[in-house]
């Protein structure tokens, strides 16, 4: 501040020097310029995600997938493979089928929702209130697996009726209530939480004469906790998607299932689910928002890829039954109705 | 009482030691065991996780032997020698090793930022905009030296808020800009050299030496540009790494050599370590000893997530976390410190308004204890549903976590400001300073170390928060790092949570452990950097 007084010829000449040096520098640099195209500057400047980026493909933007934790591994695999070919940012989240519809898909914050059961009427209602129209595609099947502890040597096969006795409200309390030869010990039950599609499927198809599961079991969204619970107690039982059983074949014992007392016991496996022998095979779905399919090119392209690949080994390696060739063609022709071009 | 009774019997207090000291000894022992219990539990957990992440037992014993002989033994021996000499050589040795290491870490971070988040054109536009805005403010001060505060404020605000963004937009539409390495050279290289020159000039109190140092540094960074790119060191990488690692190292070496002309032996320590590493690597390769099959390796840090555990990486989540922390710091630190300053320095203390202020303070303290999942719901309601931001984007995540740590920052800043002795304020007022001048020049500098300490702890908590991210919809799997602050993202704790839920055993134990170790490392280096900044201010005040 005190030096301000001495601004005279000195200051001017310094400024002149700066201007001169600056000009010389600019001229010098001009020789070493590049032309990345002003468009790349634009796309960054706007901060918006869906222009610019002329990467490997001509697609860009985001695809947001929420929903079932059972379908999550499939969607994750599809996203991973799809993104090797296209410069699209696919994000996958596991929120439970109901949680996804309720909090993300129907409010319009997601493009696709995975579901391990068909969409409910109440959810359709919520979606239409927000102007979201869900389009259903069945992409795979799962052999829902009931598992017990490795040391539970008394039980090998259970019928729907017995499962219902165990899991319905006010049902059996001890193993001996089901079969008098079994131990006189109480059940220790682990199962999915109520936001899960597996929970809903089990109520609708196994516990037929009641509309709820007993409330004295250990509910969790994390299927690994169910397996750990079963591992930890000889008298435990739980159920979850087949993929989790396949990873833990040595840790827990899968129970064979028969639909009624004179049916034949069938063990859960991809083959048995595929040929229809396993009674607890259930379809897995994804729901796409119609507006996303029609308006977002990248969502349509991703769905096309998903539906095609759903028939391949990607799905069976995860531990689910891939969709049949007929189902794939049916899905693709359904998808074509929403093509924007 | 005891002393009186003993006095009555004629003995001195403390003569019969065991009576008076036993409770104290027991208390000290209890305190010690509590401390040890805490430390041992946490350390045990960390060792367990690190073991899962590194898997040391998969390595060949020969591998350990080679590295023990080439790396561990010489460096421990050297350190032992330095500390036996006892004249600060050990500190010199560790600092000489630490400066290039942290410089490389920081430089790599900056490089990552430029590779994935900022394009070089944006950086160029940003620098030009900053130079223009700064130039206008400085020029105005020169031309109108006696301008009033209001005028200066208006000019400053106008150039920052209007001129700078306009320049940014204008420059980013330029059809041609200089080559990337030229931009880096004249932004990072040149400013690094100037800062280095200023440091040397101040240290030696010699303008000419400073100019020479700046010139030399700039000459080296320019010369390095011409290294053959086939070595893997492209001009961009060279400029940034040299600016962040080479320049601080050179300055430190210069300082050590100048100040202790006798034997700057400590400076050899980094050479011993690096030579040991290289020698070990070569020998292991020659002898064919396999290293540990660690989950935490280079590809884990640079890969995106994958459904195959061997290919899974944390890179997009790492970048997401860093960007989220930028938003957290920008959104919560100024507001928190501002609120604390108002409450401590300006807010009325008595009367009905004082009651209101006290009521607000009590509420802020209570907010610090509200569970994080509630803040997640608050963020979802406030930013996503009410302000209509997209869910799961960086800004929403950062602001939600910022809200979560805001009360902690306010409380710790309040404590720090309250700890400034009021005699300092009185002295400042006595000198005729206004309240604003007193706060700006006396209270704030004095309180800053304390404010930073509290904030560092809060930021450490923020980077590990998972529940708010779950609530605002940060995705479990993101395969690309966010491009900007309005992109969807995933953060490290969210990614770790997703891995724990995977069916495969390798994800739940190996990959998860590697993620945890990465998260803790990032957190610790953030804290270390912040502590360095804090210490610098502490010394100055």
pLDDT grade for A12, boundaries at 50, 70 and 90: very low
The predicted-structure confidence for B165-196, as pLDDT tens digits, reads as follows 888 888 877 777 778 888 888 888 899 999 99
Confirm if A161 and A219 have CB atoms less than 8 A apart. Answer: no
- Inter-axis angle of helices B89-112 and B73-85, nearest 10: 130
* Least Cα separation, residue A177 to chain B (angstroms): 33
- Closest of B314, B337, B315, B333 to residue B325, by C-alpha: B333
Backbone Cα Rg of chain A: 29
Share of chain A above pLDDT 70, in %: 82
Average pLDDT of the segment spanning A50-58: 45
Instruction: Encode chain B (541 residues) as per-residue pLDDT tens digits.
Output: 444 454 455 566 555 555 678 888 999 999 999 999 999 999 999 999 999 888 888 888 888 888 889 889 999 998 888 888 777 777 888 888 888 888 888 888 788 777 767 778 888 888 888 888 888 888 888 888 777 888 888 888 888 888 888 888 888 777 777 788 888 888 888 999 999 999 888 888 888 888 999 999 999 988 888 887 777 788 888 888 889 888 988 888 888 888 765 567 778 888 889 999 999 989 888 888 888 888 888 888 888 888 888 888 999 998 899 889 989 999 999 999 999 999 999 998 888 899 999 999 999 999 988 999 999 999 989 998 899 888 889 999 999 999 999 999 999 999 999 999 999 999 999 999 999 999 999 999 899 888 988 898 899 889 999 999 988 888 888 888 888 888 889 999 999 998 888 878 888 888 999 999 999 988 887 788 777 777 777 765 4
DSSP assignment string, B41-71: HHHHHHHHHHHHHH-GGGS-HHHHHHHIIII
Asked if A227 and A146 count as a contact pair (C-beta separation under 8 A), the reply is: no
Is the reported ipTM for this assembly greater than 0.95? no
Q: Return the beta strands (E) in B114-200 as ranges.
A: 177-178
pLDDT digits (tens, 9 = 90+) for B47-100: 999 998 888 888 888 888 888 898 899 999 988 888 887 777 778 888 888 888
pLDDT tens digits for A199-239? 888 888 888 777 778 888 888 777 888 888 899 888 999 98
Per-residue pLDDT at A3 exceeds 60: no
State which residue of chain A sits closest to B178, comparing Cα positions.
Answer: A33
Q: Do A72 and B174 touch (CB under 8 A)?
A: no
pLDDT number for residue A11 = 44
Q: Is B168 on the interface with A (CB under 8 A)?
A: yes
Q: Angle at the Cα of B464 (from B458 to B469), degrees rounded to 5?
A: 105
pLDDT digits (tens, 9 = 90+) for A263-278: 888 889 888 888 888 8
Torsion-angle region of A120 (φ positive above 0: left; ψ -120 to 50: alpha; else: beta): beta
Coil, strand, or helix at residue B307? coil
Q: Which residues of chain A does B479 touch, with a Cβ-Cβ cutoff of 8 Å?
A: 79-80, 83, 89-91
Q: In B, which residues are within 8 Å of A94 by CB distance? A: 476, 498, 501
CB B417 within 8 A of CB B443: yes
Min CA distance, B377 vs chain A (Å)? Answer: 12
Beta strands in B64-183 (DSSP E): 177-178
Query: Quick one: CA torsion of B149, B155, B157, B159, rounded to 10 degrees?
Result: -160
pLDDT tens digits for range B495-520 = 999 888 887 888 888 899 999 999 99
Question: What sign does the dihedral B180-B183-B188-B189 (CA atoms) show?
Answer: positive
Burial grade of A73 (CB within 10 A; 0-12, 13-18, 19 or more): buried
Write out chain B residues lying below 8 Å of A35, CB-based. Answer: 175-176
| All residues at 6 or more sequence positions from A61 whose CB lies less than 8 Å from its CB, including other chains | A49, A50, A88, A89, A296, A297, A298
Please count the helices (runs of H) and the strands (runs of E) in chain B.
26, 2
Give me the count of residues in chain B.
541
What is the reported pTM? Answer: 0.78
- In this complex, how many residue pairs, one in chain A and one in chain B, have their CB atoms less than 8 Å apart? 137
Chain A contact for B146 (CB, 8 A cutoff) = no
Q: Is the dihedral of CA B359, B362, B364, B367 positive or negative?
A: negative
- Closest Cβ–Cβ partner in B177, B304, B475 for A92: B475
* DSSP conformation class of B293: -
Which residues in B lie closer than 8 A to residue A318 (C-beta atoms)? 307
**Which residues, 6 or more positions from B254, have their beta carbon under 8 angstroms from its beta carbon?**
B200, B213
Judge: A45–B122 Cβ closer than 8 Å, yes or no: yes
Sign of the CA dihedral running A90, A92, A98, A102? negative
Are A41 and B476 in contact (CB < 8 Å)?
no
Q: Measured between alpha carbons, how far is A151 from A307 in angstroms, rounded to an integer?
A: 41
CB distance B463 to B521 below 8 Å: no
């Amino acid at each position: 501040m005190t030096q301000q007084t001495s601004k005279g010829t000195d200051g001017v000449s310094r400024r002149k020097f700066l201007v001169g040096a600056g000009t010389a520098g600019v001229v010098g640099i001009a020789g070493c310029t590049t032309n990345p195209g002003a468009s790349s500057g634009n796309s960054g400047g706007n901060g918006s995600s869906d222009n610019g980026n002329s990467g490997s493909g001509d697609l860009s933007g985001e695809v947001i997938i929420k929903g079932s934790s059972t379908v999550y591994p499939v969607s994750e695999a599809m996203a991973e493979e799809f993104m090797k070919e296209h410069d699209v940012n696919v994000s996958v989240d596991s929120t439970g089928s109901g949680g996804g519809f309720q909090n993300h898909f129907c409010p319009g914050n997601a493009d696709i929702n995975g579901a391990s059961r068909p969409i409910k009427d109440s959810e359709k209602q919520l979606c239409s209130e927000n102007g979201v129209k869900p389009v259903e595609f069945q992409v795979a099947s799962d052999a829902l697996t009931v598992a017990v502890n490795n040391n539970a040597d008394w039980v090998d096969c259970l019928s729907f009726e017995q499962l219902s006795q165990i899991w319905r409200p006010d049902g059996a309390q001890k193993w001996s209530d089901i079969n008098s030869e079994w131990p006189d010990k109480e059940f220790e039950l682990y199962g999915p939480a109520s936001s899960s599609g597996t929970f809903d499927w089990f109520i609708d198809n196994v516990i037929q004469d009641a509309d709820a599961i007993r409330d004295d079991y250990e509910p969790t969204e994390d299927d690994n906790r169910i397996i750990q619970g079963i591992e930890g107690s000889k008298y435990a039982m739980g159920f979850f998607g087949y993929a989790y059983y396949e990873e833990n074949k040595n840790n827990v014992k899968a129970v064979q299932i028969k639909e009624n007392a004179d049916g034949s016991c069938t063990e859960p496996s991809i083959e048995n689910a595929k040929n229809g022998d396993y009674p607890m095979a259930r379809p897995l779905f994804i729901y796409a928002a119609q507006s996303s399919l029609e308006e977002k090119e990248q969502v349509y392209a991703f769905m096309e890829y998903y539906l095609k690949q759903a028939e391949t080994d990607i799905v069976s390696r995860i531990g689910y039954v891939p969709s049949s060739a007929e189902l794939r063609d049916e899905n693709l022709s359904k998808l074509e109705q929403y093509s924007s071009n | 009482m005891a002393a009186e009774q003993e006095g009555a019997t004629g003995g001195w207090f403390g003569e019969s030691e065991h009576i008076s000291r036993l409770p104290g000894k027991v208390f000290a022992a209890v305190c010690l065991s509590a401390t040890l219990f805490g430390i041992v539990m946490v350390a045990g957990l960390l060792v367990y996780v690190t073991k899962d992440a590194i898997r040391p037992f998969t390595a060949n014993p020969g591998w350990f032997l080679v590295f023990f002989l080439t790396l561990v033994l010489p460096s421990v021996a050297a350190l032992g020698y330095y500390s036996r000499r006892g004249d600060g050589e050990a500190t010199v040795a560790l600092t000489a090793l630490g400066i290039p290491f942290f410089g490389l870490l920081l430089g790599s971070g900056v490089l990552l930022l430029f590779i994935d988040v900022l394009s070089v054109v944006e950086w160029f536009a940003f620098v030009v905009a900053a130079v223009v805005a700064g130039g206008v403010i400085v020029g105005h001060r020169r031309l109108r030296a006696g301008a009033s505060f209001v005028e200066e404020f208006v000019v400053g605000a106008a150039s920052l808020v209007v001129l700078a963004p306009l320049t940014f937009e204008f420059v980013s539409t330029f059809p041609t800009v200089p080559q990337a390495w030229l931009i880096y050279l004249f932004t990072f290289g040149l400013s690094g050299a100037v800062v280095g020159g200023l440091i040397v000039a101040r240290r030696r109190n010699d303008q000419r030496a400073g100019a020479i140092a700046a010139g030399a540094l700039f000459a080296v960074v320019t010369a390095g540009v011409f290294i053959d790119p086939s070595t893997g060191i492209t001009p961009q990488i060279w400029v940034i790494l040299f600016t962040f690692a080479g320049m601080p190292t050179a300055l430190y070496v210069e300082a050590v050599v100048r100040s202790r002309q006798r034997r700057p032996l400590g400076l050899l320590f980094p050479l011993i370590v690096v030579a040991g590493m290289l020698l070990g690597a070569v020998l292991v390769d020659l002898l064919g000893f396999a290293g540990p099959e660690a989950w935490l390796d280079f590809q884990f840090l640079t890969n995106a997530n994958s459904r195959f555990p061997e290919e899974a990486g944390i890179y997009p989540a790492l970048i997401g976390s860093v960007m989220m922390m930028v938003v957290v710091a920008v959104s919560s630190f100024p507001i928190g410190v501002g609120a604390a300053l108002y409450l401590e320095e300006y807010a009325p203390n008595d009367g009905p308004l004082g009651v209101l202020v006290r009521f607000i303070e009590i509420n802020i303290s209570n907010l610090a204890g509200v569970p994080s999942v509630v803040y997640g719901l608050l963020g979802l309601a406030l930013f996503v549903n009410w302000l209509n931001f997209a869910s799961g984007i960086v800004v929403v995540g950062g602001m939600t976590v910022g809200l979560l740590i805001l009360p902690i920052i306010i409380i710790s800043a309040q404590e720090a400001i309250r700890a400034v002795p009021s005699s300092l304020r009185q002295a400042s007022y006595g000198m005729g300073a206004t309240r604003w001048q007193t706060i700006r020049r006396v209270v704030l500098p004095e309180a800053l170390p304390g404010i930073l300490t509290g904030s560092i702890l809060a930021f450490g908590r923020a980077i590990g928060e998972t529940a708010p991210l779950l609530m605002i919809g940060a995705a479990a799997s993101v395969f690309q790092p966010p491009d900007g602050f309005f992109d969807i993202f995933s953060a490290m704790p969210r990614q770790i949570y997703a891995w724990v839920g995977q069916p495969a055993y390798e994800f739940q134990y190996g990959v998860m452990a590697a993620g945890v170790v990465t998260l803790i490392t990032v957190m610790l280096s953030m804290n270390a950097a912040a502590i360095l900044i804090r210490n610098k201010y502490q010394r100055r005040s």
